[in-house]
Chain A
């Protein structure tokens, strides 16, 4: 079966600290991978997507960056967190019906 893992599940970080969130995918090769952020009352916002190793596209300008060092690994990073970076970060892969998305369990990030 195809599974998405994310860690950590929850994270509390001070403003100005660095961030690294990891997503790994099992059971599929060469998936398209995505990072979404869900802030309170704002739905899901697509942040980054990747069609392959080393290939990253950004949908919105922001304080975050993404990397894909391996086919099934997708990392979200920041050098210095802002309060506005708080939210629920979801990794997703493309599904069997074209552009459908399958989400991982997410990481809840609180920046204080």
Chain B
């Protein structure tokens, strides 16, 4: 079945440093989505990328979708303590009703 892999699993950064998480799918994706889960909370949708090579920005966050539509990355510039949490990528599971296959996530820990 489809697999979505994310690295790294954990990332410690000093506040103000940049952060990047990478996502790879075993199959070509029609789209890729990113979610953020704060400690103790539930995942919250951040963005969806659809086009090959697409780049989208949300303030300090930059999302990229690979040319082959099998990989993606999320880059945060100048991290802040509010960025703490787990970042998940997800792609369509290929089953019915548009369910998603999630990566295991990257836990971002920020040291002030």
Contact = CB atoms under 8 A, between A and B. Distances in A.
A20 B2 CA distance: 30
A94 interface: yes
B100 A57 contact: no
B33 interface: yes
B112 interface: no
Contact of A100 (B48, B97, B104): B48
B33 A49 contact: no
For chain B, the bracket of interface size reads: 20 to 34
B96 A51 contact: yes
Interface of A: 32, 34, 36, 41-46, 49-51, 57, 59, 90, 94-95, 97-106
25 contacts: A32-B97, A34-B99, A43-B102, A43-B103, A43-B104, A44-B100, A45-B102, A49-B96, A49-B97, A51-B97, A57-B95, A90-B42, A90-B43, A94-B97, A98-B98, A99-B31, A99-B92, A99-B100, A100-B45, A101-B33, A101-B45, A101-B90, A101-B100, A103-B44, A105-B41
Given A43-B88, A49-B95, A106-B42, 4 more contacts: A44-B90, A46-B93, A59-B93, A98-B98
